[in-house]
Structure 1
């Protein structure tokens, strides 16, 4: 099977890496598509990659794995949506853009919704596989335990707190927590990691970078893949972000501010001044530990580390039964949008 790993944003690298590894280990051919704007961040430069859509046309793929929202309709290959997060409450998560032949879902919550949409649109299929970015939870959850120990020792801290807000201007807590994070850092038993979305407003990135430069037990992390920081942290502070679910699936407490989900099963507050007592409460009591069971069962019930395998196998079986699409039919408006995005 010839596959394209399609990256429009740099968060795609960590999502697609387990698929890449499975393809490589099982004799499949693949090429990375890396948008020019993120080429400097691409971590697999020794592997076959391109920023040319024309080269992808000539590659004649069988399948295209896409963690984003768009893919050129005129490329040969089964166009597979594998998603870039678990935040179903975010605007657009369940929007059908008609670019995809197959949706590979993370768990029953997503599968049920997309199957309902399938019954309406009738131009795509849905298979539940789990999400490859979280395969490490099943295969090597302690991968960074030594690094955690070294950080705690270096900073003479006892707990690692991760602040990972969303970038969306309407949803982000970044403008409201600068002074609160600063006050939180006065407790030297806390090591505070700041991990911002790559699309975060640069002015807030600068403000928090300056804060980290000023205060020793605050670190502004620039590594692209957030998984390591999820694994080594004791509590997550956020707002409305997919990273919340990724952290909850590690069975650890989350604190959010003004989250818009209809089904909040963690500590949420509208009062930014409550950050310090909420951190203490969740570290000491973990009051929402029982509620996390719903997230485990519905958002991502797979803890075997084999979601990438399920995805590749599902695609191979689907192609065996249905063949490889040469292109996908789209409305004039959708074709125009794709042609505009990819400069055709």
Structure 2
């Protein structure tokens, strides 16, 4: 039996780490979690054990799996990047999804759209390996957790279900702009709504959307997001990565002022147009369905719910030297490790 460490800095990392924890436990391994910043005080289901930074170092794990941009480089073991979302082009490649921070040994990519750019970077920089595994967060989406989704959908009583999700980035968030339009749709009652917000959204915004809950709507927490995606027929969102997560199910998405609208989205910029855009989503034409299929294949073609197994296999291949010899990490990685030491208050060896 080997010991493994899971690392997250925000609550939204927990659904990414959870399926991998189950896979590690099923293989007989010990699983521990170091949860900091916005994830501090949270926990993964037992028997995953939450540890502090000193316990994490003493653990000497075989690998550290990160659902964050960083990873504690001073903890032993292979450092594996799982990603905390899809590339939704919120920022330029140099600052966003394809930014290499010099701290990871292995990038477990989600699909061709992510794999190709990271492999090009790996060939140039040579201090990390890349394996396309699919995304652990989506394992439950394809494993048929129908009972949980059915329970979330039950209050709809046969009505179509819309999921609303919004990013926390103020300049991109639909939540402040669409509240009145969504409230009108909820009040009409011909569809049932599942409402959720990014954990970093302002508390006042949470209060406004929670207040819409009733016979025609429910507010769902971040940990329920994958189940909510499975339960919903259509997604309403903005530039959140939930758009990509939802599309891999081959379901329509309506986006409000998306930063980089694509053919698979029904994008709009006037809240008054919401009813029309929802109507289009519930009756998608052949062209839209083809665009949805093509995009889903490019970002996450695997639909078997076994990404976590492939992540573990890729990590073992890395440790066995099967992915080649890696160069030493750049100084930028050392500096980021120093910053994380300071944040976590750890200065031991």
Q: Scaled by the length of structure 1, what TM-score is found?
A: 0.90
The 8 Å contact of residues 87 and 241 in structure 1, kept in 2 or not, is answered as no
Summarize the Cα distance change of 1:47–1:333 in structure 2 as closer, same or farther, 3 Å threshold. closer
Note the 1:1-344 alignment, pairs <5 A. Answer: 1-35=2-36, 37-50=38-51, 52-91=52-91, 92-140=96-144, 142-148=146-152, 150-153=154-157, 158-212=159-213, 216-222=215-221, 224-261=223-260, 263-285=262-284, 288-321=288-321, 330-331=331-332, 333-344=335-346
Provide Cα deviations, 1:236-264, integer angstroms capped at 9, x if missing partner. 00000111111111111100011112644
Work out the CA distance in 2 between the residues paired with 1:260 and 1:311.
31
Q: Which runs of 5+ in 2 are unaligned?
A: none
The 8 Å contact of residues 2 and 62 in structure 1, kept in 2 or not, is answered as yes
Provide Cα deviations, 1:242-289, integer angstroms capped at 9, x if missing partner. 111111111111000111126442211122221111111211335621
Work out the CA distance in 1 between the residues paired with 2:140 and 2:80.
22
Work out the CA distance in 2 between the residues paired with 1:294 and 1:20.
31
The 8 Å contact of residues 12 and 67 in structure 1, kept in 2 or not, is answered as yes
Work out the CA distance in 2 between the residues paired with 1:291 and 1:267.
11
Shift of 1:79: 0.5
- DSSP 3-state at the match of 2:180: helix
Work out the CA distance in 2 between the residues paired with 1:32 and 1:48.
6
Work out the CA distance in 1 between the residues paired with 2:102 and 2:238.
30
Work out the CA distance in 2 between the residues paired with 1:218 and 1:337.
43
Work out the CA distance in 1 between the residues paired with 2:261 and 2:180.
29
Summarize the Cα distance change of 1:334–1:149 in structure 2 as closer, same or farther, 3 Å threshold. closer
The 8 Å contact of residues 254 and 278 in structure 2, kept in 1 or not, is answered as yes
After alignment, is 279-288 or 71-80 more displaced? Answer: 279-288
After alignment, is 131-140 or 73-82 more displaced? Answer: 131-140
- DSSP 3-state at the match of 1:69: coil
| Count, aligned residues | 337
Q: Which runs of 5+ in 1 are unaligned?
A: none
Work out the CA distance in 2 between the residues paired with 1:235 and 1:206.
24
The 8 Å contact of residues 73 and 330 in structure 1, kept in 2 or not, is answered as no
- Aligned-residue RMSD, C-alpha: 2.3
Work out the CA distance in 2 between the residues paired with 1:187 and 1:211.
12
The 8 Å contact of residues 62 and 324 in structure 1, kept in 2 or not, is answered as no
After alignment, is 118-127 or 32-41 more displaced? Answer: 32-41
Shift of 1:189: 1.7
- DSSP 3-state at the match of 1:161: strand
- DSSP 3-state at the match of 2:24: helix
Summarize the Cα distance change of 1:116–1:169 in structure 2 as closer, same or farther, 3 Å threshold. same
Q: Scaled by the length of structure 2, what TM-score is found?
A: 0.89
State the 4+ residue runs in structure 1 displaced beyond 6 angstroms. 322-325
